Amino acid sequence: MPRNRVHKLTDGRLTYSAIDRSGRRVKLNQRKKEGREDFLKRCSALDISVRNFGTSGLTMSELFDMWMEMHVEINLSPAEKRVTEPIYENKVKPYLGRKKISEIERADVYAILALAQKEGCSASYIKKIRGCISRPYNWATRTLGLNVAIPTQGLIFSMPTEMSANTGQPERVIEVEDLERFLTAAKNTKYYNYYVILSQTGLRPSEGLGLQINDITRDRLLIRRGITADGFSPLKTKSSKRDIPLTETLRKALNEQKSKAAFRSEDGWLFPSGAGPPSMKALHSSFKRTMKQVNKSDPESRVVKKPVDFVLYDFRHTFATKAAEAGMPPKTLQAIMGHSDIATTLNYYVSVTEKMMDQARRIMEAL
């Protein structure tokens, strides 16, 4: 049980505070849908942390809860919490939750990552599991000044590159035929122009949904905000704020959508929902319905078409690959994609296609 008294806020939530060894008051508020017992456990964890400030007496779960409360919820986006908590609960807590952070070793972390790999988790998901351990440790040592060894430091865990079983290429590039089938099925939906814009610009899905009429200028499309599953979101990095040149196809889609949205949105959103502001949930629902329509079988047709399967973010990967394939200079592509590091553009978004290999073959022959 907490050492100090638990108070109630005016909105009915519980609140608790404790004084650390430096004399600083640390405060906790009850989270939305958090039960009293769970809140009291976090209060007890706070008591332990302030008593052991500068030592390693915390358990992994106590440290994780502190990190979420005192750093993630304050400094990061709501999406960070929504994504990270379930990963910790399912993949880390059952094995390390009760262990003291001073007792967790590199081998413990390696075992968790190896198990996740054996279960078929993707490389990106395994990286998130590792972050559920390394990030709280790093925060504790740098912010709280805890003197404890970080078990992920120096840990080498090799993961095979995720490849397509059919083509040998990294899975993310949408085939031309699949894109045409999808856009045909989406033609009469409210998000048809949204999909065209993504395919023409490589915007992040949230950036495309966050477009407003005033973002369209004579020769540029201004990228200034995003709409995520958690609502309005500022851009990820300084480089994300960018101006993209307009092509004729892009201009046509934007102007067409502008005429549709002008009388539907007082705030000038290009893709407003029925409730007003754009909704990522509504977009995903429409996307799933369209994808279902694409893959709907035709009993009268004798031609069996392969299933179409991709996600919204694959528009971005496809644009980057096709732009590189067409010869767009890497630095230009980096600017259009809104990446602060060109390595991100080249290593994670651009796939090597057969057309690129043919170009390489011709260059090699010319040598």
Tokens 């899975």 belong to: 171
Angle at CA 77, nearest 5°, toward 101 and 234? 150
Question: In terms of C-beta density within 10 A (0-12 exposed, 13-18 middle, 19 or more buried), how is residue 30 classed?
Answer: buried
Q: Which of 337, 349, 342, 341 is nearest to 244 (CA)?
A: 337
pLDDT band at 346 (very low <50, low <70, confident <90, very high): confident
Compute how many other C-beta atoms are within 10 angstroms of the C-beta atom of residue 275. Answer: 8
Give the Cα separation of 260 and 187 in Å (integer).
Answer: 14
Sign of CA dihedral 190, 192, 195, 200: negative
Supply 327's token pair.
């010869």
Q: Which residue has the tokens 């990967």?
A: 317
The answer to whether residues 243 and 185 touch, using CB atoms and an 8 Å cutoff, is no
- Check residue 262 and give its pLDDT: 65
Across 80-84, 129-133, 164-168, 253-257, least confident range: 164-168
Whether 232 has a pLDDT exceeding 60, the answer reads: yes
- Signed CA dihedral, 105, 111, 112, 114: sign only: positive
Q: For the chain, give every domain's residue range.
A: 176-366
Q: Please compute the mean of the pLDDT values over residues 225-234 and round it to a whole number.
A: 87
Q: Show Cβ contacts of residue 266 under 8 Å, excluding neighbours closer than 6 positions.
A: 276
pLDDT tens-digit profile of 90-118? Answer: 999 999 999 999 999 999 999 999 999 99
pTM as predicted: 0.66
Query: Can you count the helices (H) and strands (E) in the chain?
Result: 16, 7
Per-residue model confidence as pLDDT tens digits over 168-215: 444 589 999 999 999 999 999 999 999 999 999 999 999 999 999 999
- Give the residue with greater pLDDT, 50 vs 359: 359
Please state, in angstroms and rounded to a whole number, the distance separating the CA atoms of residues 301 and 311. 27
Q: What is the pLDDT of residue 167?
A: 38
When mean pLDDT is compared across 40-49, 227-236, 310-319, the lowest value belongs to 40-49
Residue bearing tokens 């960018």? 242
As a whole number of angstroms, the distance between CA 265 and CA 210 comes to 13
Q: How far is CA 115 from CA 29, 103, 121, 152, 237, in A?
A: 35, 20, 9, 16, 34
Q: Residue 237: what pLDDT?
A: 78
* Arithmetic mean of pLDDT over the chain: 86
| Predicted confidence (pLDDT) per residue in 119-128, tens digit | 988 888 999 9
Instruction: Select, from the ranges 20-29, 160-169, 258-267, 315-324, the one with the highest average predicted confidence (pLDDT).
Output: 315-324
Tokens representing 108?
């413990």
- What pLDDT is attached to residue 279? 94
pLDDT at residue 336 tops 50: yes
pLDDT tens digits, one per residue of 291-322: 999 998 766 666 667 889 999 999 999 999 99
Report how far apart the first and last C-alpha atoms of the chain are (Å, whole number): 76
pLDDT in tens, 144-169: 777 889 999 999 998 765 444 333 44
Statement: residue 51 has pLDDT above 70:
no
pLDDT for residue 300: 67
What is the model's pLDDT at position 242?
95
- Domain 176-366 annotated CATH 1.10.443.10: yes
Residue 234 has pLDDT above 70, yes or no: yes
Q: Please give the Cα distance from 206 to 126 (Å, whole number).
A: 24
